[in-house]
Amino acid sequence: MAIGYLSLVLHAHLPFVRHPEYPDFLEEDWLYEAISETYIPLLVAFNHLRDEGVKFRLTMSMTPPLCEMLTDPLLQERYLRHLNKLCELSEKEVARTRQEAPHFYDAAVMYHRHFHECREVFENVYQRNIVQGFRQLQDEGFLEIITCCATHGFLPLMSNETVKHAQIQIARENYLKHFGRPPRGIWLAECAFNPGDDRYLREAGIQFFIADAHAILYGTPRPRRGIYAPVITPEGVAVFARDTETSEQVWSSDIGYPGDPNYREFYRDLGYDAQDYDYIKPYLHDDGVRRNTGIKYHRITGKVALHHKEPYVPAWATERAAEHAGHFMHNRQAQARHLHGALGRAPNILAPYDAELYGHWWFEGPQFLFYLFKKLHYDQNEIQPISPIDYLEFFPHNQPQTPSASSWGAEGYNRVWINQQNDWMYMHQHAAEQRMVELAEQFPNADGLLQRALNQAARELLLAQSSDWAFIITTGTMVQYAVKRFKDHIHRFTRLYDMINAGAIDESWLADVESKDTIFQELDYRVYYPQTL
């Protein structure tokens, strides 16, 4: 029997970005880059492991907005158009580097192979719906896919119980639509927990959630096994806490693996480096402004200026990914040996990360996971990769505790999502939340046009509640877009509220909004009726 367990958790999330009113929209690239650099490479790695007979186990959250975008026909068509351009560009780059820049040739060949593989997987293997690939791996027992709050809403900053309940119930129904069964676990948005929020999880049948270490360490009473065993909340939901040491080995900018000199440099891209503007222009957006293409020819090299970065050598990077996988495994073995003796039972070492770290930010991340699971399978028998749900089956009796209020943001609480830059948002969000409950109470049995308007009002509220807008404003990236998105959804909600109360719904305007904000077609606004609690 294993002396320790490793629970790797990847949090796959993007805000719902879909703009049919424009033929080409920059922020949709967030999705396209994540598909090519993270989601498809992970699928390919997982499928190779399965086909080689490697017993691996991994937990992934796939948030409702992400699943809705990945299954949206418009975004699927636009991604394929985006990918076809990259395939064409990569073909030109193979020819160009062979003649003009042989030091980049191996990387160009790698990109050519990568983009064509993405197209094969996306269009031919999964018929444009890669959610089915992850669902298949879950059905086969390799993945445990968990859900998230409906629109990655930050529960502690919502104004009442009904809207918190709705965020979880809507997420549950959306998960059921995409994966064919109810979710067993949840990644609370930003790992944000406030005592009492476990009630909404229990009502949705959720058995466990992920938290940062201080949620358990500062909980009441103090945990007997620290962060290496779950605790059970007053509502009977298990909490698994992040192991900081394990996480830092991957994501730390100082000691983390992604900073290795041989790995790909994220901040040098052909979209900026190409000297011939006319050559690169067809592969930019319609405005012609230079942007990232995903073809990057330099390695990190070291702490040197970007113009001093040296050529990327894919073979060197692959070798380092395998070495780092072995180093990570050996450290977990040593950690498990120590903890097993101290705790009196096999510890669970929980290592949660943003999924986009693997592939998008750390290009070699999917290779690292591939080699890690192979090494865990073939090279040792002390550590077993599992999901948190498996640990609950192995050890069903765990310490009761009320976890502390917490998040995994800077300083561990709510400051990232409410501060001097974004606190203006919440008076509008809270007013809309209270009005949505009011509408559900006022019209408990609507049908026809009124029902459509009420359902769309719920969608607009949900999209306004996304924690991504407050986060983007705090970090100072794409602030104008985040502010506009929040204001647009509040404006649309308010107009719907006024039209519904006036009994004069503008159907053509409603249809236009329905065509843009298409998330959650299964949504029933009655989830906001307080008697459903």
Which CATH number is 230's domain given? Answer: 3.20.110.10
User: Residue 255 domain-assigned?
Assistant: yes
- Catalytic site residue 423? no
pLDDT digits (tens, 9 = 90+) for 105-151: 999 999 999 999 999 999 999 999 999 999 999 999 999 999 999 99
Q: Residue 461: what pLDDT?
A: 98
Same domain, 516 and 370: no
User: Residue 243 domain-assigned?
Assistant: yes
Same domain, 230 and 257: yes
213 token code pair: 């270490």
User: Residue 144 domain-assigned?
Assistant: yes
Three-state secondary-structure class, residue 339:
helix
Same domain, 167 and 208: yes
Same domain, 318 and 219: yes
Q: Residue 168: what pLDDT?
A: 98
Count of positions (residues) in the chain = 533
User: Residue 110 domain-assigned?
Assistant: no
Total domains present in the chain: 2
Q: Residue 251: what pLDDT?
A: 80
Q: Residue 533: what pLDDT?
A: 46
Residues in the chain with pLDDT values less than 70: 253, 531-533
Same domain, 367 and 455: no
Q: How crowded is the C-beta side of 107, counted as CA atoms within 13 Å?
A: 24
User: Residue 331 domain-assigned?
Assistant: yes
CA distance to 21, 429, 495, 498, per residue, from 491 (Å): 17, 11, 6, 11
Beta strands in 340-421 (DSSP E): 348-354, 383-385, 399-400
Catalytic hit among 106, 117, 203, 354: 354
User: Residue 272 domain-assigned?
Assistant: no
Helix axes 244-251, 314-343, angle to 10 degrees: 170
Same domain, 61 and 196: yes
Q: Residue 248: what pLDDT?
A: 84
Q: Which of 411, 440, 461 is the last residue of a domain?
A: 411
CA distance to 202, 419, 435, 437, per residue, from 531 (Å): 17, 34, 16, 11
Provide the CATH number for the domain around residue 479.
1.20.1430.10
Strand partners for 208: 185, 238
Q: Which of 411, 434, 449 is the last residue of a domain?
A: 411
Same domain, 484 and 365: no
C-beta of residue 232 within 8 angstroms of C-beta of residue 399: yes
Q: Which of 372, 391, 411 is the last residue of a domain?
A: 411
Same domain, 375 and 424: no
Same domain, 452 and 520: yes
Q: Residue 1: what pLDDT?
A: 72
Q: Residue 531: what pLDDT?
A: 63
Closest by alpha carbon to 296, among 318, 274, 281, 279?
274
User: Residue 49 domain-assigned?
Assistant: yes
- Catalytic site residue 393? no
Same domain, 345 and 200: yes
C-beta of residue 122 within 8 angstroms of C-beta of residue 79: yes
Q: What pTM did the predictor assign?
A: 0.96
C-beta of residue 401 within 8 angstroms of C-beta of residue 144: no
Same domain, 320 and 356: yes
Beta strands in 356-425 (DSSP E): 383-385, 399-400
Q: What does the alpha-carbon distance between residue 64 and residue 148 come to, in Å, rounded to a whole number?
A: 7
Closest by alpha carbon to 492, among 462, 507, 513?
513
Which of the 8 DSSP states describes residue 54? -
User: Residue 89 domain-assigned?
Assistant: no
Same domain, 519 and 379: no
Domain that holds residue 241: 4-71+129-264+312-411
Catalytic hit among 190, 260, 265, 460: 190
